[in-house]
Amino acid sequence: MECEVSPPSLETDGALAQRAVAGEEAAFTRLMQRHKGRLYRFIRRYVGHDDDAFDLLQDSFVSAWTALKRFDPQRPFVAWLRQIALNKCRDHARRRVLRAIVRYVAGEHDDAPSLARWANPEAALRVNETLQQLDAAIVSLPVTLREPLILCVFENLSHRETAQLLGVSEKAVETRLYRAKRELAARIDRSKLDSLHEDVES
């Protein structure tokens, strides 16, 4: 009697991971396709830059492939993958600080970011400016505040899940999240956020 094989779209992450460990690269490709969108958004919100986020996404998957034999199939794959990405983001943040110091000493400046490609140039300008302001505000938060903000607000993790990922208590997550929201509110122009919403909806 032949064994039934689940359709690829219905296979669990754990099953795909086990097949990937056995040498089936197509199984790992399916895992990447399944999680790359959400993981990219997580990284993008952490680092605040499209190109850096894409590079870190690729690095995260490379590291995941290398470490796949150590993955526990009983553990949520997305949580394991997010931990790898979080470590990549932290390393990137440390390197970014060092590069910023070097550029400052050398008297160099970053290139201006490109505008979003919208049909309405005026709307594009407003959207781009507001998103830059939001990204800058998030990135400028201390890492202890930025991480719970991204994980709880943008990744929809519970306080418990965030605490486990960051290695802190749930109370610490609650306190840091409150402070992060307060800091963000103080740095963002509410009228610009309202304008952004109108541009996106129009």
Q: Domain locations in the chain?
A: 10-111, 113-202
Q: How far, CA to CA in Å, does 41 sit from each of 26, 99, 104, 132?
A: 24, 24, 29, 15
Lowest mean pLDDT among 63-72, 109-118, 146-155: 109-118
Q: What is the mean pLDDT of residues 166-188?
A: 88
pLDDT band at 202 (very low <50, low <70, confident <90, very high): very low
Q: What is the pLDDT of residue 49?
A: 84
Model confidence pTM above 0.75: no
Q: What is the pLDDT of residue 191?
A: 57
User: What amino acid occupies position 8?
Assistant: P
Counting other chains too, the contacts that 35-39 makes at CB distance below 8 Å and 24 or more residues apart are: 35/77, 35/78, 35/81, 36/61, 38/78, 38/155, 39/81, 39/82, 39/85
Decide which of 2.40.10.10, 3.40.50.12780, 1.10.10.10, 1.10.260.40 is the CATH code for 113-202: 1.10.10.10
Q: Write the DSSP symbol of residue 9.
A: G
Instruction: Return the higher-pLDDT residue of 63 and 5.
Output: 63
Q: Write the DSSP symbol of residue 141.
A: S
Task: Express as a percent the part of the chain with pLDDT over 70.
Answer: 71
Q: What is the pLDDT of residue 39?
A: 95
Residue 141's φ and ψ, nearest 5 degrees, are -65, 145
Q: What is the mean pLDDT of residues 14-19?
A: 90
pLDDT digits (tens, 9 = 90+) for 65-98: 999 999 987 889 999 999 999 999 988 887 766 5
Q: What is the pLDDT of residue 9?
A: 56
Location of structure tokens 């609650």: 174
Quote the CA–CA distance of 89 and 13 in Å, as a whole number.
Answer: 23
Residues in the chain: 202
CATH of domain 10-111: 1.10.1740.10
pLDDT band at 182 (very low <50, low <70, confident <90, very high): confident
pLDDT band at 176 (very low <50, low <70, confident <90, very high): very high
